[in-house]
Amino acid sequence: MMEKLSAEEFDRNLEEVQKRLKAALEKSGRSEDEVTLLAATKTVDPDTVNYAIDKGIKYVGENRVQELLSKYKLLKPVHSHFIGHLQTNKVKDIIDKVEMIESVHSLKLANEISKQAAAAKVQMDVLLEINIGNEETKSGFAPNAAENAVREIAKLPNIHIKGLMCIPPAADVPEDARKYFRNMYKLFLDIMGKNIDNSSMSVLSMGMSHDFDIAVSEGATLVRVGTSLFGKRNYNI
């Protein structure tokens, strides 16, 4: 887990993130209601997450199933997303505990989400994860396979496709991510224009602490911010 963050430190961090977000929106001529700030809470203790909720954070995202389950009953009311790599055998554990799964990276996973959602009598909103950099080490649909994946997954019961998500290739300079965000937005608009049944294409989740300003300027509607809010994680604690 991460070291305990003081209230003052979080307040400063939140103010700085909000300033960056506002500046990016103004620069690109967008309004504040066009982008959702999601707090990525991996390794963040429940008390700190609850403090963030008290300060106005409305969306949180977990990367690990085990961590989500351990915090689930301890958090105040909040919109909860799963944003990490999800194995098919873990779907049943979270299907009734999150509002959205942002990391649907395969047809196999989508089928399992549909099956478990039906069993739990819930409707699950999902985003398709796009491997926008065509990296061999990353999961997700290739950009040229995205439209077909949307068409296939949209046919499944108890699933509603709300949009796309991506993590661009790692870069030393945040600006290097811009071309990937731009390509992602083009793909998003292209699929939106196809008006595929059961796919609203209302959410484009891209951008994290180091590059969310760039993602916003290139069309993101949801940004996943962890380190800039909660500080650097210490995995040795």
Per residue in 156-193, pLDDT tens?
999 999 999 999 999 889 999 999 999 999 999 999 99
pLDDT of residue 5: 86
Residue 143 placed within a domain? yes
Residue 237 placed within a domain? no
What are the phi and psi torsion angles at 195 (to 5°)?
50, 50
pLDDT of residue 193: 98
The amino acid at residue 224 is: R
pLDDT in tens, 43-75: 999 999 999 999 999 999 999 999 999 999 999
pTM (predicted TM-score) = 0.96
Residue 137 placed within a domain? yes
Q: Does residue 236 carry a pLDDT above 50?
A: no
Which residue from 139, 140, 145 is spatially nearest to 130, judged by alpha carbons?
140
Kindly give, in sequence order, each residue whose CB lies less than 8 Å from that of residue 33, ignoring residues fewer than 6 positions away.
none
Q: Does residue 237 carry a pLDDT above 70?
A: no
CATH number of the domain that residue 58 is part of: 3.20.20.10
pLDDT in tens, 19-34: 999 999 999 999 999 9
pLDDT in tens, 135-153: 999 999 999 999 999 999 9
Residue 34 placed within a domain? yes
Residue 67 placed within a domain? yes
Q: Which domain holds residue 149?
A: 7-230
- Categorize the per-residue pLDDT at 3 as very low, low, confident or very high, splitting at 50, 70 and 90: low
How many domains would you assign to the chain?
1
Whether 1 and 229 have beta carbons less than 8 Å apart is answered as no
Residue 235 placed within a domain? no
Residue 236 placed within a domain? no
